[in-house]
Structure 1
Amino acid sequence: MREELLHHLWKNISPPLLNLTTTSGETVDIISPGYYNEHAGPDFLEAHLVINEQAWVGSIEIHIKSSDWNLHNHHKDHRYNNVILHLVWNEDVEINYLNGKSIPTVELKNFISLNEILKKSTFFKSKRDHFIVCQNDIALIEPFKILSWLNRLYYERLEEKCRLINELLLNTKYDWEAVLFILLLRNFGLYQNKEIFYQLSKVIGYAIISRLQDNIIKMESALFGYSGLLEKPFAKDFYWKSLNDEFTFLKKKFDFPERIIQKPYFFRLRPASFPTVRLSQFAHLYHTNPKLFSRIISIDNKNDLYKLFSISPGEYWKTHYVFGKKSLAKNEHKLSRRFIDSLLINSIIPLVFCYSKWLGEPLKKGFHEIINEIKSEENKITRGYRACGIHSKSALTSQALIHLYNNYCAKHRCLECVIGDSILNGK
């Protein structure tokens, strides 16, 4: 038996739990079960009960066995002093307050059959061939309810991303341009190199990049040099030599320490996504757009953002993917729509959302529209939900589904999920 099932029973109080009595024979009338506590402390807060005609407002603690109270050290925790009811499946020991008075306890096995509990528990039995526990039932839920839940989950995901942004703001002394620089460089690294590029952004820093913005060779030399991409000599390659000479000068000027980050990966990447090409694109983005954050917050439509990020690398990278080896065909290597969408989803919209909160203003209407206009991401999570009958048509939905899977489905938090709760209640 799972304790979460008892949480569900209490949260969705219904017969036969409307006529409870404690193990000492006191009547229990439930005015309100309270609200579920997602943090440390008792399971439900601000419950309103009438016990033996005496009104009480306080917390509810739920266990399989009453002895779990002592096992979890609640008897030493002051947060449990205001528990007005201990709800257990089996009372194996009597539990008392610190003053020695017995805590009112309801033994649920006297009011609901084990068979009824087991019927609900089968819902939580994960199967290896199942993508999610409720995959056979989720498509039966009213579409509007799912849509509302996904909209809420998308903003939960934005709040989650805001935590990293707030941390970066603190570290950069609330420099929004510097935070954007870090977020963008991290996302230019894609999945394979995002953490390496993230470390690169912290080592070089926006303060240095902003001083080099007017000179593309200096910017590229700093990014390539500190990534270790200039270490292998290509003496006959004029472009490599100019970058290497400039990096040698910059190391002395800015007193750069020895490289401490890992070299970026090339393995399993398409040539157009090689870190050499991406770093040159990134350098040209900042070279052509000083004060990039100020420009972004003045835009409120997708087309203008696409124009802003429609960037090509330097001429060298239109005929190369790596140093010293010329490609057969010339390629502009402009940032693709798909890549720009990824930047908008993972960097720009979360940052603008966080900035709006910082100002105490609602997110611009244009950015609400942008996330709904961007095509859905395609990955194993969106494909998994599609197989269950839940189709993603926009980036808002795909982001919400990613959040649903990672934070609810994968963690079996079905009782905290609108979909899981609806299935269990037959709604």
Structure 2
Amino acid sequence: MKEKFLHYLWKNKLLLHDKLFTTQNEKVTIVNCGQSNDNSGPDFLNASLQIDQQLWYGNVEIHQKTSDWYAHEHETDTNYDAVILHVVYEDDVEVYMKNNKIIPTLELKGKIDEKLFQNYSSLISKKINWIACGNQISTIDSFIVNNWLERLFFERLEKKSESILILLKNVNNDYEAVLFQMLAKNFGLKVNGEAFLNLSTSFDFSVLRKVWFDEFQLAALLFGQAGFLEEESEVSYFNELRNEYHYLKHKYSLNPIDKKYFQFFRIRPNNFPTIRIAQLIALYVKCHNLFSRLMEIKKPEEVYELLDVEVNIFWKTHYTFEKESKKSSKKLSKSFIDLLIINTIIPLKFVYCKSKNNLNENEILEMLESLHPEKNSIISNFEKLKVKIENSFKTQALLELYKGYCSKKRCLDCAIGNQLLKSS
């Protein structure tokens, strides 16, 4: 009997209440099961219980066996002095309080709904290649699933907020600077994301503010800081940027990163770091004070229009500085902008609006619901399980479901798992 399952039964009051007696044959009535405690100390805090005719307020500790109390050395920990009930599956030893009285102990063996336990065992023990409820998830009522996915989506946003708050702290709450850092990272996609983030933090954002009105200076700054202007070349545009960067480097005491951190291998030319930097330059030349403009946007179409930028004429015929290629516009694709909306704009808007106490959750949901679903292996696996996936809201929520619950076997914490456990 897993302790996690015992926690689940207690938290959800799923015990056979007519059979709840302590080992001293005292009737136990659960008035309030208490607050689940994920930190050190008893498992449930501030519970209220009636044991025989006495009402008790305090904490509840749960173990597989009563002897676990000693195995975990709770007898020496003052955090456990206020425990009013010891809930165990099997009572194998007596545990005493400081006054030498036995701690009221509730043994659950024989007091658990057999069908509930069978459902739990069946769910947890399934040996399948992917998720425990794979054969049943498509049968769950859509109302339950959709409500759970909405909660998971905002759970995912909260997690993303943590990294954004760290970035904000590092730049004294300059949202424009954090937007640049997040955009840069997402312009680099999965392979070059960290390299682009290092580029965006390799100089003070005030330097970019001073040069973003001048495309040539901005290009010199970003390509120079990325380490792409360190070598010799016969290309005139390269040498012009190199000379300008040397001037900026001296003026602002800049230190470039090593270009070896940027990967070209097995990357499609349109995703080459040189092209993504050129696109980032074009965006900041077109849109000054980009953060305030993005925060006002409510529909993806407005983002598409704002991010409709053209790279410098040099990059229309190049993928790298050295080799000339067939001319192409190299605009940001709609699918790429969708990724920026999902991974940059919405998380940052969520944090900003929360800080101003004017968060409109429906507005965020509507924006995501109007975007096509993302494509990746996790989403493909959910589709194989006949889960309906209509938009990016669903894909984001399902990613959180898999990474935060399914892959960690947290079925007891999942609304879908709960529904399957309670099914007849």
Whether the TM-score (by the shorter chain) exceeds 0.5 is: yes
Give the distance between the partners of 1:383 and 1:48, measured in 2 at CA: 47
Aligned to 1:195: 194
Tell me how far 1:299 sits from its aligned partner: 2.2
Q: Contact 2:57–2:84 (CA<8 Å) still a contact in 1?
A: yes
Contact 1:224 1:230 in 2 (8 A): yes
In the alignment, structure 1 residue 310 sits paired with structure 2 residue 308? yes
What's the counterpart of residue 249 of structure 1? 247
Q: 2:330 aligns with which of 319, 325, 333?
A: 333
For 1:204, what is the secondary structure of its paired residue? coil
- Contact between 1:229 and 1:263, CA under 8 Å: does it hold in 2? no
Count of aligned pairs: 424
What is the one-letter code of the residue matched to 2:151? R
1:185 counterpart = 2:184: yes
% of aligned pairs identical?
39
In structure 2, how many angstroms separate the alpha carbons of the residues matched to 1:336 and 1:296?
18
Q: Secondary structure at the match of 1:334?
A: coil
User: What do residues 222-243 of structure 1 show as CA deviations (whole Å, max 9, x unaligned)?
Assistant: 2222222223432x21111112
Matching residue's letter, 1:70: Y
Asked if 1 retains the 8 angstrom alpha-carbon contact of 2:119 and 2:421, the reply is: no
Distance in 1 of aligned mates of 2:361 and 2:382? 30
Q: CA deviation at 1:344?
A: 0.5
Deviation for aligned residue 1:300: 2.0
Is residue 358 from structure 1 mapped to residue 355 from structure 2 by the alignment? yes
Distance 1:190-1:216 versus aligned 2 partners, 3 A rule: same
Deviation at 1:349, TM superposition (A): 0.8
Shift of the 300–15 alpha-carbon distance from structure 1 to 2, 3 Å rule, reads: closer
- After superposition, where does 1:126-141 map in structure 2 within 5 Å? 126-127=126-127, 129-141=128-140
2:392 paired with 1:392: no
**Aligned equivalent of 2:65:** 65
**Of residues 366, 373, 376 in structure 1, which corresponds to 2:373?**
376
Cα distance in structure 1, aligned partners of 2:169 and 2:67:
44
After superposition, what is the alpha-carbon deviation per residue over 1:219-263, rounded to whole angstroms, capped at 9, x for unaligned? 2222222222223432x2111111211222222111123536752
Match of 1:240 in 2: 238
Q: Following TM superposition, by how much is the alpha carbon of 1:39 offset from its aligned partner in structure 2, in angstroms?
A: 3.8
Question: Structure 1 residues 340 and 99, CA, compared in 2 at 3 Å: closer, same or farther?
Answer: farther
Task: Check 1:95–1:229 CA distance in 2 against 1; reply closer, same or farther (3 A cut).
Answer: farther
**What residue is the counterpart of 2:20 in the other structure?**
20
Distance 2:199 2:178 in 1: 13
Residue of structure 2 equivalent to 1:347:
344
Query: Could you say if the C-alpha distance between residues 105 and 340 of structure 1 is closer, same or farther in structure 2, counting changes exceeding 3 Å?
Result: same
Q: Which amino acid aligns with 1:414?
A: C
Alignment deviations for residues 10-39 of structure 1 (CA, whole Å, 9 cap, x no partner): 233345343211122222122333343344
Structure 2 CA distance, aligned partners of 1:17 and 1:388? Answer: 37
Q: For residues 115 and 309 of structure 1, do their structure 2 counterparts lie closer, same or farther at Cα, with a shift above 3 Å needed?
A: closer
Q: 1:271 to 1:87 in 2, by over 3 A?
A: same
Measure the CA separation in 1 of the matches of 2:256 and 2:270. Answer: 29
Q: Is the 8 A contact 1:42 1:79 kept in 2?
A: yes
Paired residue for 2:44?
44
* Unaligned segments of structure 2, at least 5 residues: none
Offset of residue 362 of structure 1: 2.3
Q: Does the 8 A contact of 2:368 with 2:393 survive in 1?
A: yes
- Which residue of 1 is the match for residue 291 of structure 2? 293
Tell me which amino acid in the other structure corresponds to 2:207.
Answer: I
**Tell me, what secondary structure is at the counterpart of 1:55?**
strand
SS at match of 1:164: helix
SS of the equivalent of 1:173 reads coil
CA deviation digits over 1:266-322, x for unaligned, max 9?
Answer: 122110011000001001111111111111122222211111111222111111111
| Residue among 395, 417, 424 paired with 1:420 | 417
For the aligned residue pairs, the C-alpha RMSD in angstroms reads 2.1
More divergent stretch after superposition (27-36 vs 391-400) = 27-36
Q: C-alpha distance in 1, partners of 2:177/2:420?
A: 46
Going from structure 1 to structure 2, the CA distance change for 1:194 and 1:120 (only over 3 Å counts) comes to same
The farther-off stretch of 79-88 and 114-123 is 114-123
Q: Which residue in the other structure is 1:81 paired with?
A: 81
Mapped to 1, the partners of 2:129 and 2:108 lie a distance apart of 32
Secondary structure in 1 matching 2:18: coil
Structure 1 residues 2 and 210, CA gap change in structure 2 (3 angstroms): same
- For the residue of structure 1 that corresponds to 2:86, the secondary structure is strand
Equivalences for residues 192-271 of structure 1 within 5 A? 192-234=191-233, 236-257=234-255, 259=257, 262-271=260-269
- Distance, in Å, in 2 between the alignment partners of 1:113 and 1:153 is 29
Distance 2:178 2:94 in 1: 55
